[in-house]
Structure 1
Amino acid sequence: MELIDIGCNLTHDSFDADRNAVIEAARDAGVVQMVLTGASLDGSKKALALARARPGEHFATAGMHPHHASDWTTDVATRMAELATAPEVVAVGEAGLDYFRNFSPREDQLRAFEAQLALGAETGKPLFLHLRDAHEDFHAVLSEWRDRLSDVVVHCFTGSRKELHAYLALDCHIGITGWICDERRGTHMKAYLHEIPADRLMIETDAPYLKPRNLRPKIKSHRNEPKVLPWILGTLAAVRGEHPADLAATTTANARRFFRLPVAGSFG
Structure 2
Amino acid sequence: MHLVDIGANLTHDSFDHDRDDVLRRARDAGVARMIVTGASREHSPKALELARAHPGVLYATAGVHPHHAVEYTDECDAELRALHAHPEVVAVGECGLDYFRDFSPRPAQRKAFERQLQLAAETGKPLFLHQRDAHGDFIAMMKDFDGRLGPAVVHCFTGTRDELFDYLDRDWHVGITGWLCDERRGLHLRELVRSIPDNRLMIETDAPYLLPRTVRPQPSHRRNEPMYLAHIVEELARDRDEDVATTAARTTATARAFFGLPD
* TM-score grouping bracket, smaller chain normalisation: over 0.9
Match of 1:168 in 2: 168
Give the conservation status (yes or no) of the 8 Å contact 1:9–1:37: yes
**Is the aligned partner of 1:205 residue 2:211?**
no
Give how far 1:189 is off. 1.5
Match of 2:191 in 1: 191
The residue type equivalent to 1:72 in the other structure is Y
Segment drifting more, 140-149 vs 44-53: 140-149
Residues 245-260 of structure 1 mapped to structure 2, 5 A cutoff = 245-260=245-260
Match of 1:113 in 2: 113
The residue type equivalent to 1:91 in the other structure is A
Q: Deviations over 1:126-145 (max 9, x none)?
A: 00001111111111111221
Secondary structure (helix, strand or coil) at the match of 1:91 reads strand
The residue type equivalent to 1:74 in the other structure is D
Q: State how far apart, in whole Å, the 1-side matches of 2:230 and 2:187 are.
A: 19
Give the alignment's Cα RMSD to 1 decimal.
0.7
Give the conservation status (yes or no) of the 8 Å contact 1:97–1:131: yes
Q: Deviations over 1:30-52 (max 9, x none)?
A: 00000000001220100000000
Match of 1:214 in 2: 214
Q: Deviations over 1:54-84 (max 9, x none)?
A: 1111000000000000100011001111111
Give the conservation status (yes or no) of the 8 Å contact 1:143–1:170: no
Q: Deviations over 1:169-188 (max 9, x none)?
A: 11100000000100111011
**Is the aligned partner of 1:98 residue 2:104?**
no
Secondary structure (helix, strand or coil) at the match of 2:59 reads strand
Match of 1:144 in 2: 144
The residue type equivalent to 1:228 in the other structure is Y
Q: Deviations over 1:72-122 (max 9, x none)?
A: 001100111111111000000000001110000000000000100100000
Segment drifting more, 173-182 vs 134-143: 134-143
Give how far 1:216 is off. 1.5
Secondary structure (helix, strand or coil) at the match of 1:192 reads helix
Scaled by the length of structure 2, the TM-score of the pair is 0.99
The residue type equivalent to 1:233 in the other structure is V
Q: State how far apart, in whole Å, the 1-side matches of 2:12 and 2:130 are.
A: 17
Q: State how far apart, in whole Å, the 1-side matches of 2:233 and 2:145 are.
A: 31
Q: State how far apart, in whole Å, the 1-side matches of 2:207 and 2:38 are.
A: 13
Runs of 5+ consecutive residues of structure 2 not aligned to the other structure: none
Secondary structure (helix, strand or coil) at the match of 2:166 reads helix
**Is the aligned partner of 1:11 residue 2:11?**
yes
Secondary structure (helix, strand or coil) at the match of 2:159 reads coil
Match of 2:58 in 1: 58
Give how far 1:222 is off. 1.3
Give how far 1:147 is off. 1.6
Q: State how far apart, in whole Å, the 1-side matches of 2:257 and 2:54 are.
A: 20
Give the conservation status (yes or no) of the 8 Å contact 1:131–1:138: yes
Q: How many residues align?
A: 263
Match of 2:78 in 1: 78
Match of 2:123 in 1: 123
Match of 2:157 in 1: 157
Q: Percent identity?
A: 60
Q: State how far apart, in whole Å, the 1-side matches of 2:191 and 2:140 are.
A: 26
Q: State how far apart, in whole Å, the 1-side matches of 2:152 and 2:38 are.
A: 16
Segment drifting more, 141-150 vs 162-171: 141-150
Secondary structure (helix, strand or coil) at the match of 2:144 reads helix
Runs of 5+ consecutive residues of structure 1 not aligned to the other structure: 264-268
Scaled by the length of structure 1, the TM-score of the pair is 0.97
The residue type equivalent to 1:7 in the other structure is G
Q: State how far apart, in whole Å, the 2-side matches of 1:147 and 1:170 are.
A: 11
Match of 1:26 in 2: 26
Give the conservation status (yes or no) of the 8 Å contact 1:146–1:170: no
Q: State how far apart, in whole Å, the 1-side matches of 2:58 and 2:235 are.
A: 25
**Is the aligned partner of 1:225 residue 2:235?**
no
Q: State how far apart, in whole Å, the 2-side matches of 1:147 and 1:171 are.
A: 12
